Structure 1
Amino acid sequence: MKRLDQVLAADGIPAELELVIDHIMIACKDIAYKLGQGELAGILGATEDQNVQGETQKKLDVISNDLLKDILVSNPYVRGIASEEEDYTVAGNANGKYLVTFDPLDGSSNIDVNLSVGTIFSVLEAKDNRPGDDQEVFLQNGRNQVAAGYVLYGPSVILVMTTGKGVNFFTLDTNIGEFVLTKSNVQIPADTAEFAINMSNQRFWEPEMKQYIDDCLKGEEGPLAKRYNMRWVASMVAEVHRILVRGGIFMYPYDTREPSKAGKLRLMYEGNPMSMLVEQAGGASSTGRMDIMDVAPKGIHDRVPVVLGSKNEVAKVVAYHTK
């Protein structure tokens, strides 16, 4: 089986980008080890701090963020980083070519109950000479990503990544300490009868989303003429991984709990990298009204409504919002 570095070399990925990806993976292997130790490593529970989002930080949120930050800012090819757990962008090497954004531990509310969590990352090219602690250099839409992916920490540790040449799965072989290719050219089925959404927020949704879900629940007798199943893990990584494996649609729409915010999920280190993966696998991603990767960010922590997954089902949701 091919190792990650062999696949990247065969795809003609620049050596500088390969080193950036390699350093991300070193940090992710450390995170996977600490997760495997669980309470033995003292990583369960919350801190007394909140991140810039106003969310209470789990202990492993902070540990994961520091592991990624420390290795990336020392990388000679990284100009700067932006993280869910950092208020501001952090400068790396002034001559670095790449910018890395990441959610160090997506789904961290699941840690204490031993459910799947993950790390999401996105790599952009620095387009001008501004330093990495200037957030303006990061404010590019998702079409400019040169790599995107996530590491799922589950029964096995799986890297799912694209460099714009399709989506591959790599599994961490703990015998050699390397990610090896286990599935290439992943494709999402165009049709599905499975949706994932947090139904407890239904009363806060826009009428268009309420109507779509109501029609799903009507089954064969409803206007969508099929019986749907619902799933919800409360981890975007786990939800998207299920879609990449067997199809489906994942939604975290705009709601009125905080009307001033466009959505729950963050554009630059959640919406964009997941959208690149899904589109590279033949799926679609949308805010409900436009493609997520076409959204122009105004800040590194911008939020965005998310609808992504099987192409034909995403088109149905968009039709509800735009008719």
Structure 2
Amino acid sequence: MQTIFQKIKEIALKVDQAIKDQEMGYSEQCNASGDDQLKLDVYADELVEYGLRELPLVKAIISEEKEDVMPVHEEGKYTICYDPLDGSSIVDVNLSVGTIFGIYEGEPSGETLVASAYIVYGPRIEMVTVTRGGEVQHYRSGSSQLFNLCYKAVRLEEKGKLNAPGGTQKNWPPHHKAFIDSLFAEGYRLRYSGGMVPDLHQILLKGGGLFSYPGTSDKPDGKLRLLFEVLPFALIYETAGGEAVNEQGKRLLELKAKHIHDTSPCFFGSRYEIHKMKEAYGVL
């Protein structure tokens, strides 16, 4: 697994440079979910794909930006699902964005996810990794472009202070709005940038809180993709001592995708916030 993590570090440095240098305009293409692609999305996708193809361990790769599975090495062991540039719509205003990787052994699902990683491109490049049964580790790249371990065994506290509610509020179900309002009434601070990676990263490193993206009237099955975004973060949050569930209170890591681009409502947080969410949704 360290071979894959090392390759991800190399890819991250190239994507970071692309963010600094590449044109920000839209391409003439849409991704597999029908979203307009930035030229930067397309270029970042190519950088990740070419990097992962160099690894004999990789059997197949699945990108959020492409419709189908891409076979790589028949003798490979892992299928890697990735979002090459999560939050790319906020690159033009210079907010932090990221890349997410889910590493699966077998048909991709919560049960076969064996490791995950994400990169944050902000004032510094940071990387968080986890292997199933291991620890959540946090790395930072400095001027030497080497990733140094900052924190080993990153842990969430029982209760946090941050609240990152996703989705357009007018489309929230009433019980979700009441739940979010109740957290603010308890003194939680709003931390929502429009980027999944930086928002979940902040909650993780600040000790806890809640990131939520419910089913909404316009997207009843949620917006975030199961294999590329939801499951990789679920493994990280559970390993860090938190919880990650859907709107029925079911562990996200128990979910299976019927299609590689399936989405799911999702809630990530400390144990206290997830307990409150289950109360609000009536799924205790």
Q: What TM-score results when the alignment is normalised by the length of structure 2?
A: 0.94
**Structure 1 position 98 matched with structure 2 position 78:** yes
Deviations 1:284-315 (A, max 9, x none): 11112111111111111000001101111111
Q: Is the 8 A contact 1:110 1:117 kept in 2?
A: yes
Q: CA deviation at 1:27?
A: 1.3
2:4 to 20, 25, 38: 20
Residue in 2 that maps onto 1:30: 14
1:100 shift after superposition: 0.3
| Match of residue 158 from structure 2 | 190
**Superposed structure 1 runs of 4+ greater than 3 Å apart:** none
Give percent identity, aligned residues only. 33
Mark the runs of 5 or more structure 1 residues left unpaired by the alignment.
Answer: 1-16, 127-136, 220-225
Kept in 2: contact 1:243–1:310 (CA 8 A): no
- Which residue of structure 1 aligns with residue 254 of structure 2? 294
Tell me the distance in 1 between the aligned counterparts of 2:5 and 2:183. Answer: 40
Deviation at 1:24, TM superposition (A): 2.2
- The structure 2 residue matched to 1:171, chosen from 130, 136, 140, is 140
Report if the CA contact (8 A) 1:123-1:146 is conserved: yes
Equivalent residues in 2 for 1:77-88 (5 A)? 77-88=57-68
Letter in 1 for 2:91: I
Q: Aligned partners of 2:160, 2:5: CA distance in 1, in Å?
A: 32
Q: Tell me the CA shift for residue 237 of structure 1.
A: 0.5
**Partner Cα distance (1:277, 1:258) in 2:** 25
Cα distance, 1:194–1:20 mapped onto 2, change above 3 Å: closer
Aligned residues, how many?
A: 280
Please list every run of 5 or more consecutive structure 2 residues that lacks an aligned counterpart in the other structure: none
C-alpha change, 1:280 and 1:145, in structure 2 (3 Å) is: same
Q: After superposition, where does 1:40-51 map in structure 2 within 5 Å?
A: 41-51=21-31
Q: Comparing both structures, which one devotes a greater share of its residues to helix? A: 1
- 2:119 is the counterpart of 1:151: yes
2:111 alignment partner, SS class: helix
- Which residue pairs with 2:244 in the alignment? 285
Bigger radius of gyration: 1
CA distance in 2, matches of 1:196, 1:180: 28
Within 5 Å, give how 1:205-284 maps onto structure 2. Answer: 205-217=172-184, 219=185, 226-246=186-206, 247-259=208-220, 262-284=221-243
Output the CA distance in 1 between the equivalents of 2:254 and 2:172. Answer: 23
Q: C-alpha displacement at 1:228, in angstroms?
A: 2.3
Give the CA RMSD over aligned residues.
1.5
Residues in 1 aligned to 2:256 and 2:218: alpha-carbon distance in whole angstroms: 24
- CA shift, 1:147, in A, is 1.1
